[in-house]
C-alpha cells in the first residue's frame, strides 16, 4: 500500500548526508560549516561507542581547521532535556543504529537541530545519521538484495528532509533495490542512495555530490502508474548535481 508525505515542513538550510565510513567527505562538511568560524556539535546518539566516535571526530575536525567542536553525549535516564550550545551553526550526526538514535534524541534537541537548518546552517549525517534525516526512513530489510515489497521495514524519521528517503552503504552492501521498493511505497518521495564516503549536499532546490563513490536518485515520474518498473534511477558522481 502506498504511503504519502505527512509533514508540512519545507527543507531549509543545507543537509550534508554521507553514505557511511566518512573520510574525505569530512573536508567538505567543515568547509560548509565555515572552517575556522565553525561551531560544530557532534550527536553520537546512534553509536554504541560514543566516546571513541567523538574523540575520532574531534581530531579529524581539528586537523581540517574547524573552529570549535562540542560533543553532546547520549543522555542517561533522568537527565534534563539536552540542548545545543548557543551559537552552534553546524551539527554532525554519527552512524550506528538509527532506531537507537531516534529513541535517544529528545524533542527539545531535535528542535534545536531543526533551528540550525532554519537559520541557514548545515546538518550532516553519516550512515544511521543519514537514514534518520528522512521523513520516513528505511529501518531494515531486504538485506539479500532481492526485491520484496513486504520485507522492507519503514519507520518515521526526524523529518529534516521532508519528502525524502535515504539509504547508505548502497554499492558496498548491494542495496540498490531497497530504494526502488521504498519509492514504490512512498511514490511522492525522492530517494537518495549513497555509497560509502560519498555525500550529497542537499538544499530545497538542488543536490550536489561529493566523495569517492556514486549517489543514486530515485523517483516515480509524475503521471506514471505506481509500478516498481516505473521507478527511475539516475547515478551521479563527484561534482555532478541535480536540480529539483
Condensed to tens digits (0 to 9), the pLDDT of residues 47-62 reads 999 999 999 999 999 9
CATH number of 16-72+85-243: 3.40.50.880
Give whole-number Cα distances, 42 to 38, 94, 192, in Å: 12, 7, 23
Query: What angle, 0 to 180 degrees and rounded to 10, lies between the N-to-C axes of helices 50-63 and 25-33?
Result: 70
pLDDT score of 153 more than 60: yes
Kind and range of the H or E element at 50? Answer: helix 50-63
- Position 2 confidence tier, pLDDT thresholds 50, 70, 90: low
At residue 53, φ and ψ (nearest 5 deg) are -60, -45
Backbone angles phi, psi at 193, to 5 degrees: -115, 130
pLDDT at 66: 98
Tell me: pLDDT of 68 over 70.
yes
Question: Across all residues in the chain, what is the average pLDDT?
Answer: 95
| pLDDT tens-digit map of 93-135 | 999 999 999 999 999 999 999 999 999 999 999 999 999 999 9
The band of 3, judged by pLDDT with boundaries at 50, 70 and 90, is: low
Whether 201 shows a pLDDT value over 90: the answer reads: yes
Confidence band, pLDDT 50/70/90 cuts, at residue 186? very high
pTM of the shown model: 0.95
Amino acid at each position: 500500500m502506498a504511503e504519502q508525505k505527512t509533514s508540512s515542513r519545507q527543507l531549509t538550510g543545507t543537509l550534508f548526508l554521507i553514505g557511511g565510513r566518512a573520510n574525505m567527505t569530512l573536508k567538505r562538511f567543515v568547509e560548509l560549516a565555515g572552517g575556522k568560524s565553525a561551531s560544530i556539535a557532534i550527536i553520537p546518539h546512534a553509536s554504541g561507542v560514543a566516546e571513541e566516535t567523538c574523540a575520532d571526530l574531534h581530531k579529524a575536525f581539528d586537523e581540517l581547521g574547524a573552529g570549535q567542536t562540542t560533543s553532546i553525549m547520549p543522555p542517561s535516564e533522568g537527565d534534563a532535556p539536552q540542548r545545543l550550545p548557543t551559537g552552534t551553526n553546524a551539527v554532525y550526526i554519527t552512524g550506528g543504529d538509527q532506531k537507537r538514535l531516534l529513541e535517544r534524541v529528545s524533542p527539545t534537541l531535535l528542535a534545536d537541530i531543526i533551528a540550525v537548518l532554519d537559520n541557514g546552517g548545515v546538518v550532516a549525517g553519516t550512515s544511521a545519521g543519514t537514514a534518520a534525516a528522512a521523513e520516513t526512513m528505511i529501518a531494515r530489510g531486504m538485506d539479500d538484495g532481492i526485491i520484496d515489497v513486504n520485507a522492507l521495514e519503514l519507520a518515521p524519521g526526524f523529518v529534516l528532509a521532508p519528502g525524502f528517503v535515504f539509504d547508505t552503504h548502497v554499492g558496498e552492501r548491494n542495496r540498490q533495490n531497497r530504494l526502488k521498493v521504498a519509492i514504490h511505497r512512498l511514490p511522492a518521495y525522492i530517494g537518495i542512495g549513497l555509497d560509502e564516503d560519498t555525500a550529497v549536499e542537499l538544499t530545497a532546490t538542488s543536490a550536489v555530490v561529493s566523495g569517492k563513490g556514486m549517489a543514486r536518485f530515485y523517483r516515480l515520474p509524475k503521471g506514471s502508474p505506481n509500478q516498481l518498473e516505473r521507478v527511475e534511477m539516475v547515478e551521479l558522481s563527484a561534482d555532478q548535481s541535480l536540480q529539483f
